[in-house]
Amino acid sequence: MKFKAPAFLFALALTAPLALAAQAEGPALPSAATADQVTTSKLVYGLLSDSRYAYRPRALDEATSQDVFKRYLETLDGGKQYFTQADVARFAPFEANIAAALRGGQLEPAFQVFSLYKQRVGQRVAYARGLLRQEPDFTTDERFEYDRKKVPWAATDAELNELWRKSVKNDWLRLKLAGKKPDEIRSTLDKRYTTLEKSVNELKGEDVFQFFLNAYTSAVDPHTDYFTPRTAENFNQAMSLSLEGIGAQLQRQDDMVVIREVIAGGPAAVDGTLKVGDRIVGVGQGRTGPIEDVIGWRIDDVVAKIRGAKDTDVRLEFISAEDGVDGKHHTLVLTRQKVRLAEQAAKGETLTIPAGEGEPERRIGVIKLPTFYQDFEGRRRNATDYASATRDVGRLLAGFKKDKLDGVVLDLRNNGGGSLDEAIELTGLFIEQGPVVQVRESGGRVTVNSDRSAAVAWDGPLAVLINRGSASASEIFAGAIQDYGRGLVIGETTFGKGTVQNIVDLDRWPSSEGKRFGQVKLTIAQFFRVSGSSTQHKGVVPDLAFPASVDATEYGESTYDNALPWTRIAAVPHTQYGNFGPLLPRLEERHAARIRTDREFQWWNEDVEQFRAEAAKKYISLNEAERRAERDRQENQRRERQQVRKELGLDLDPLADDSSDDGLTGNERDIVKDAAREKAAEKRPDPLLRESASILADAVNLLEKDRPLSAQVLPQSTGAGRWAD
């Protein structure tokens, strides 16, 4: 079950932990750690308590033990919707002995806590389902307070019952406002709550072990994580943007695994048989191996069966989407191949900024980079085609250069980082050789990491677009571009993550074959800009700021209670290509004048203000008339905006006719329609991107017309349009 906030507050709603729809009866949980898990716990303790490895080791003392205990409970019951004060009091002996448990791998109490958690989930689900017999009264002035981070544990079961009563009432109201009838609402919610219980019952011993170890790692550092062997495999595949399999994105729906997306270029796409919405009900290995019925399986278990080594065969038994759940079963043999996840790679487009007031039309290239990806294994093997963000961006820049575009905007919004090497090498595409980032290790030694190539892929006008979701490697790149005066940084202040992590393979120490112990993503250093400033907490502050879409108290490094403080070290000599200070007031003036008449930008700003106002309330009304009035206001607003777009000749919003809130969770929606909606969302008007391109065009025009200003802003430039010589 999820506690539901309004559609625009989903990110703030409480969620059940790691729910994976599964069979009603899950596997019996072990009462203690396995031998491998005992070894793993000892290895992780050794890493995190030793300054030779961890940047900020933390002793397993009484304070740390209390912190680990608190974080473990938050992992299981972050919304304080299952445990009572009495339950937490029962765990006191475990809290007192956590240090010994982690050092020795004696983790029986962690499994005992989880066992009680399962029991409490079952009790709450039973209570929630019982409430569905009667439709709630929506004429009262009740409200549901969904932000429960700082509330105490419930004193009684009655207090939890009241919390769940309001949660169920909110779930029912959302569906009612979406036009659902009472019987349909009962069916939907009953299935939803049952699925929650199934998901918890399906969790395995390795899941519980990972929850507990990560309570420990997060107590040491907010960006240190433990990965089980399976989790590690998924992480490494995500970083490499490739996998070996059939090339399909899967989603759980009810008791079946459903095709969410067929990845272009993969075996499934080349074959052409499988379509979005098809249900996989069985998997067999090779052309003749028996097909296992996978109905009711966890999605990660099904994925493990479908993935496999390149050039091996897998047999799938599936039901076509159009045939329904009881349709005819079909069989398909596919040969696994290495599949490139192109949707997550860098993408380019060109925006045209119209001529006006004596200034020419400008064409601005846009590169959207979702992450700083790199195929580490491919690079280690010196493969010619390994995935690399820098390589892909370089190819796009070559195309922009050939097309003689006037400037480039690199869009790093919501880019959470990735490879440090990629951040350095990507910076090198825009500067001649020189330092990019300073890295300080736990012992205090500072290493300067530099771009050593004198080649510059793009020497023209550059802007970097950032927001609060831009973190780590994004901050290294944006900070270097700003320190070098190589381009304009536009948007919101970034996340503020100024630490470096490395993947430590735990199988490197014990003498073993196979993948048994997993990996640790370990904080090993802190990075600093070439100016000497850290991005920790403070982030990268843009040269030209857009309104902040999220408050720093709600999201970012500043929200972690054990994050490193901001500090600085000595700067290192570096080229200063430009100084945009004299140009910024004129750009700000033009920007302010333009957004006064830019309807899309104004609407975006209105939405941000509304979001922040609603988020600050931390509650939602349970009165139908009040909620319906707000829903009607939102729908009218959407229709009015679309009409204005038509009248002004603006690009239409492909989602303008969608309801603001359908009351459903992700796995309850029609997958075919939901996937189509996702694709349509990519084509929605993006006023921030367009305004960033316009700001860059303004800079090009102003510097081109005003040579004295250009000489002041770009003292190193040897010609018009050259920002890096």
- What does the chain come to in residues? 725
Instruction: Give the Cα separation of 666 and 16 in Å (integer).
Output: 14
Instruction: Give the Cα separation of 374 and 411 in Å (integer).
Output: 18
Helix (H, G, I), strand (E, B) or coil at 329: strand
Residue 314: name the closest of 303, 326, 329, 299 by CA.
303
DSSP 137: P
Do residues 16 and 199 lie in contact, with contact meaning Cβ atoms separated by under 8 Å?
A: yes
**Element (H or E) spanning 308, and its range?**
none
Do residues 306 and 315 lie in contact, with contact meaning Cβ atoms separated by under 8 Å?
A: no
Q: Exactly one of 472, 621, 694, 717 is catalytic; which is it?
A: 472
Q: Exactly one of 166, 497, 521, 538 is catalytic; which is it?
A: 497
DSSP 493: -
Report strand pairing: 488-491 vs 499-505: unpaired
* Angle, CA 704 vertex, CA 698 and CA 710 arms, to 5°: 95
> Most distant CA pair in the chain: distance in Å?
77
Contacts 24+ apart (CB under 8 A), 70-77: 71/215, 71/216, 71/218, 71/219, 72/110, 72/113, 72/211, 72/212, 72/215, 73/113, 74/215, 75/17, 75/211, 75/214, 75/215, 76/17, 76/113, 76/114, 76/117, 76/211, 77/17, 77/117, 77/120
Residue 421 designated active-site:
no
Query: Can you list the alpha helix ranges (DSSP code H) found in 248-328?
Result: 267-271, 299-306
Q: Look up residue 622 and give its amino acid.
A: L
Instruction: Give the Cα separation of 202 and 296 in Å (integer).
Output: 10
Residue 115 designated active-site:
no
Residue 176 designated active-site:
no
Strand-pairing partners, residue 372, are 418
| Cα→Cα distances 532→436, 446, 528, Å | 11, 11, 6
Q: Exactly one of 225, 375, 406, 483 is catalytic; which is it?
A: 483
Query: Can you list the alpha helix ranges (DSSP code H) found in 389-536?
Result: 389-402, 420-428, 473-483
Strand-pairing partners, residue 363, are 352
Instruction: Give the Cα separation of 137 and 260 in Å (integer).
Output: 38
Task: Give me 365's structure tokens.
Answer: 């290239």
Q: Which residues are catalytic?
A: 472, 483, 497
